[in-house]
Chain A
Amino acid sequence: AQSVTQLGSHVSVSEGALVLLRCNYSSSVPPYLFWYVQYPNQGLQLLLKYTTGATLVKGINGFEAEFKKSETSFHLTKPSAHMSDAAEYFCAVQTGANNLFFGTGTRLTVIP
């Protein structure tokens, strides 16, 4: 079975500061990992994904995430927060023939 844990349901950062959103997963087989973003009253939009190969993955809007097998983590980062980054972020895991399971989400607030 697989699961996803997102530490911190709410994260606040100042505009221009580093964004770090944490995600840990559990899986008995090599996982595919995803980060999605949800803006108010919208569906989820893919930010980035890790399948195989390079463990540092770059996505849209300047975000990136690093797959660390030893730590079972896939944390999302962005060097400098922008006001438009304020949204809810979801980490998700998919393994083998199993479905796409989401974490509980982290709401990012950017302070001017």
Chain B
Amino acid sequence: DARVTQTPRHKVTEMGQEVTMRCQPILGHNTVFWYRQTMMQGLELLAYFRNRAPLDDSGMPKDRFSAEMPDATLATLKIQPSEPRDSAVYFCASGWDQRTEAFFGQGTRLTVV
């Protein structure tokens, strides 16, 4: 049963600390998305990779956020330093190509206190 795997599922951290969220896309998928979901803003696209190359990260605060794909089986989203306003659920999704549906992971619920 292929699925997108995100770790950790929950993270509570103190303001100022570094947070790293990981995503294992479905094997064979070549596109990876990172979304942030909050009550106020809904689903916001943070970054989008195709064939491991970042195509669009315009939705991501550059001063503290960074997204990478060290290899085809791992995508990471880092926040350094974290702030309370970063508290949200972060979703990773993967797909085959630019114009097919995305398959979502279960999300990482981040709480910054």
A77 at the interface (CB under 8 A from B): no
Contact with B along A73-102 (1 / 0, CB 8 A): 000000000000000001000101111111
B106 at the interface (CB under 8 A from A): yes
Contact with A along B93-113 (1 / 0, CB 8 A): 100001101111111000000
Report the count of interface residues on A (CB-CB < 8 A). Answer: 22
Contact with B along A43-59 (1 / 0, CB 8 A): 11110010100000000
> Which of B102, B105, B106 lies in contact with A100, CB distance below 8 A?
B102
Give the chain B neighbours of A105 by CB distance below 8 A. 42-43
Say yes or no: B104 contacts A32, CB within 8 Å: no
Task: Compute how far the CA of A43 lies from the CA of B45 in the bound complex, rounded to whole angstroms.
Answer: 15
Task: Compute how far the CA of A101 lies from the CA of B56 in the bound complex, rounded to whole angstroms.
Answer: 12
Return B16 CB to nearest CB of chain A, in Å. 28
Return B108 CB to nearest CB of chain A, in Å. 11
Say yes or no: B106 contacts A43, CB within 8 Å: yes
Say yes or no: B91 contacts A43, CB within 8 Å: yes
A34 at the interface (CB under 8 A from B): yes
A28 at the interface (CB under 8 A from B): no
Q: List the count of A-B residue pairs having beta carbons below 8 Å apart.
A: 47
A43-B91, A99-B48 known; A34-B42 Cβ under 8 A: no
Give the chain B neighbours of A102 by CB distance below 8 A. 35, 42-43, 45
A42 at the interface (CB under 8 A from B): yes
Return A3 CB to nearest CB of chain B, in Å. 12
Say yes or no: A99 contacts B106, CB within 8 Å: no
Return B59 CB to nearest CB of chain A, in Å. 9
Give the chain A neighbours of B99 by CB distance below 8 A. 32, 51, 94, 96
Say yes or no: B104 contacts A104, CB within 8 Å: no
Say yes or no: B42 contacts A104, CB within 8 Å: yes
Say yes or no: A46 contacts B101, CB within 8 Å: yes
Nearest opposing residue in chain A for B45, CB measure: A99
A residues in contact (CB < 8 Å) with B: 32, 34, 36, 42-46, 49, 51, 90, 94, 96-105
8 pairs of residues in contact across A and B, judged by CB atoms under 8 Å: A42-B106, A42-B107, A43-B106, A44-B104, A96-B98, A100-B102, A102-B42, A104-B42
